[in-house]
């Protein structure tokens, strides 16, 4: 059965790419035709690169033959629907209400949200037990961890099916509670926010902070990670955790991030974030 992925941005196309690379089929849904075209081009390019480097053995064109692009999600022959739209509570709640009405209760519904409470999405459905979180990390093909988020009413059958799916995708699925930031993003707030405060206070330049953290064993320093993930995405997650923890000062968004986002400096995807990119 194909897996339906709603949203063809970085995360949605990344999930689709991983699914195709492991022999699965995907339907990538986005109402924006230009966005669908960009996603298909990105997936084709990444699969070709993976084949050249020996990461996959199947021909890229054979993988792509199992990808369908659509402006509306199919109804029949679906087991999983994974939502990967922007981090907007109202948008996600509206979408889950529509998906719940569209699909029978045997279809599992998952959100790739980074920080929005699964309970808030379950509240919009008639069958909250079949709703949970599958939080993939960017870049999806390289990052092994997937947080399987257990909402208040998420069923044990859902969790078992999620474990099976993540294993099928070659990922490590870990069940985490439905708490602000879940597990990884809750811990990671300190990594980013302390780095921002240190540089803002003049204790060290950001290049040195990145260099030291990478020298200490982190794959990427905090500023390079924020540019890779997207400064706008990182700020959105920070705001969400801050609000959900009743404005705990530890998670207050930093003005430097807000300034970059307001000016459109979103990181690699916009050509400039904390660093400049060609």
- Sorted by where each begins, the domain ranges of the chain are 3-177, 185-269
132 beta partners = 110
- pTM summary value: 0.92
Tokens 């708490």 sit on residue: 179
- 114 as an active site residue: the answer is yes
Please choose, from the candidates 203, 227, 142, 271, the residue with its C-alpha nearest in 3D space to the C-alpha of residue 212: 203
Q: Which is the catalytic residue, given 13, 50, 114, 236? A: 114
Confidence band of 1 (pLDDT split at 50, 70, 90): confident
Distance CA 188, CA 175 (A): 18
Q: What is the pLDDT of residues 21-60, one digit of tens each?
A: 999 999 999 999 999 999 999 999 999 999 999 999 999 9
Q: Are 30 and 39 in contact (CB under 8 A)?
A: yes
- 258 as an active site residue: the answer is no
Q: Are 9 and 40 in contact (CB under 8 A)?
A: no
CATH class of segment(s) 3-177:
alpha beta
Query: What percentage of the chain has pLDDT greater than the value 90?
Result: 97
CATH of 185-269, one of 1.10.420.10, 1.10.1040.50, 3.40.50.180, 1.10.230.10: 1.10.1040.50
Q: Are 168 and 24 in contact (CB under 8 A)?
A: yes
Q: Which is the catalytic residue, given 135, 153, 240, 254? A: 135
Q: Are 150 and 178 in contact (CB under 8 A)?
A: yes
pLDDT average, residue stretch 175-193:
96
- 115 as an active site residue: the answer is no
Q: What is the pLDDT of residues 201-248, one digit of tens each?
A: 999 999 999 999 999 999 999 999 999 999 999 999 999 999 999 999
| HEC profile of 24-79 | CCEEEECCCHHHHHHHHHHHHHHHHHHHHCCCCCCCHHHHHCCEEEECCCCCCCCC
* Identical fold, 3-177 and 185-269: no
- 147 as an active site residue: the answer is yes
Q: Which is the catalytic residue, given 17, 83, 147, 153? A: 147
Gyration radius of the chain over CA positions: 19
């Amino acid at each position: 059965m194909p897996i339906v992925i709603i949203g063809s941005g970085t995360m949605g196309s990344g999930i689709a790419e991983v699914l195709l690379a492991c022999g699965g089929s995907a339907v990538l849904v986005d109402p924006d035709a230009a966005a669908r075209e960009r996603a298909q081009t990105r997936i084709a390019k990444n699969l070709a690169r993976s084949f050249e480097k020996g990461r996959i053995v199947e021909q890229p064109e054979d993988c792509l033959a199992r990808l369908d692009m659509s402006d509306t999600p199919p109804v029949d022959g679906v087991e999983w629907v994974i939502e990967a739209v922007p981090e907007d509570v109202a948008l996600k709640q509206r979408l889950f209400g529509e998906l719940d009405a569209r699909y029978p209760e045997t279809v599992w519904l998952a959100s790739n949200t980074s920080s929005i409470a699964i309970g808030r999405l379950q509240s919009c459905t008639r069958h909250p037990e079949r709703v949970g979180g599958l939080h993939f990390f960017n870049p999806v093909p390289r990052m092994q961890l997937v947080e399987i988020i257990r909402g208040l009413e998420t069923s044990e059958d859902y969790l078992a099916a999620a474990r099976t799916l993540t294993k099928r995708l070659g990922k490590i699925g870990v069940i985490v509670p439905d708490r602000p930031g879940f597990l990884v993003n809750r811990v990671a707030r300190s990594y980013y926010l302390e780095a921002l405060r240190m540089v803002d206070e003049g204790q060290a330049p950001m290049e040195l902070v990145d260099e030291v953290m990478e020298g200490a064993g982190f794959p990427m320093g905090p500023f390079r990670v924020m540019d890779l993930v997207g400064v706008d995405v990182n700020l959105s997650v920070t705001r969400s955790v801050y609000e959900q923890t009743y404005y705990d000062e530890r998670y207050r968004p930093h003005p430097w991030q807000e300034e970059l986002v307001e000016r459109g400096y979103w990181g690699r995807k916009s050509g400039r974030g904390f660093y400049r990119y060609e």
